Chains A and B, each alone.
Chain A
Amino acid sequence: TQLLEQSPQFLSIQEGENLTVYCNSSSVFSSLQWYRQEPGEGPVLLVTVVTGGEVKKLKRLTFQFGDARKDSSLHITAAQPGDTGLYLCAGPPFNDYKLSFGAGTTVTVRA
């Protein structure tokens, strides 16, 4: 059983559309990180959210950390083919330092 549940597992959209990826848990997390992994590469950190209710924007990507620090979401506006990849959320449960990863959401943006 994954400590962090991501949904959906797969997402295929047309260029210009919006999408949202969810990351949920029954546990409280000290912080949550979002990574993107492209084929043949290792994951690369996109953002870290630390405070409950925090919203961070990275160009067309918006990240939100739930008030209770048990969930997070990633919203992409006007998706582009370059956004294609595997999106992973990860975090250390409260009072732990070991990172747990979600299973990931594979996003495909068609031109």
Chain B
Amino acid sequence: KAGVTQTPRYLIKTRGQQVTLSCSPISGHRSVSWYQQTPGQGLQFLFEYFSETQRNKGNFPGRFSGRQFSNSRSEMNVSTLELGDSALYLCASRRGSDTGELFFGEGSRLTVL
């Protein structure tokens, strides 16, 4: 079956711009989580959506937001980009709302200049 698909894979933005990243989970998976990965901080949890509702949110500023659609696809948005937002953004899906296995996409590599 198709895995988790993230688009775009790579993008370059400048400070002050905004960006929207997309994630299509594995068919049948209703939970989608987003993580930011940087060399210094590792994987940092952004938020998790389950059945279109945000279940949990990490310690990121309000510039980071997300949503989930009725087909379980999810988007995350970062507004007023800062240099420090440069990172690999990973999306992961799982079937239920418990602590089952996370299936990760390949990520969206964001570079902010």
**Are both chains from one complex?**
yes
Give the interface of A toward B (CB within 8 A): 2, 30-31, 33, 40-45, 48, 88, 90, 92, 97-104
Q: Which residue of A2, A40, A88, A98 contacts B48 across the interface (Cβ within 8 Å)? A: A98
The answer to whether residues A40 and B42 also contact, given A45-B101, A97-B98 and a CB cut-off of 8 A, is no
Task: Assess whether B43 is interfacial by the CB under 8 Å rule.
Answer: yes
Q: Is B81 an interface residue (CB 8 A)?
A: no
Give the distance in Å from the alpha carbon of A65 to the alpha carbon of B107 in the complex: 29
CA distance A85 to B26 in the complex (A): 24
Q: How far is the CA of A99 from the CA of B98 in the complex (A)?
A: 10
Q: Which of A30, A33, A40, A101 contacts B43 (CB 8 A)?
A: A101
Who on chain B is nearest to A37 by CB? Answer: B104
Q: Please tell me if the beta carbons of A42 and B104 are within 8 angstroms of each other in the complex.
A: yes
Among candidates B42, B90, B101, residue contacting A42 with C-beta atoms closer than 8 Å: B90
Chain A residue with minimal CB distance to B99?
A: A92
Number of chain B residues close to chain A: CB under 8 A:
22
Give the 6 A-B residue pairs with the shortest CB-CB distance, closest first.
A42-B104, A103-B42, A101-B43, A92-B99, A45-B101, A43-B104
Tell me if A's interface is mostly helix, strand, loop or mixed: loop
Given A97-B97, A99-B45, answer yes or no on A42-B56 (Cβ-Cβ < 8 Å). Answer: no
Chain B residues with Cβ under 8 A from A31's Cβ?
99
- Quick check: B4 and A42 within 8 Å, CB to CB? yes
Contact at B101–A33, with CB atoms within 8 Å? yes
Residue B32 lies at the interface, judged by CB distance under 8 Å to chain A: no
Do A98 and B42 touch across chains, with their CB atoms under 8 A apart?
Answer: no
Interface: B92 (CB within 8 A): yes
Interface string of B15-49 (1 = CB under 8 A from A): 00000000000000000010100000111110010
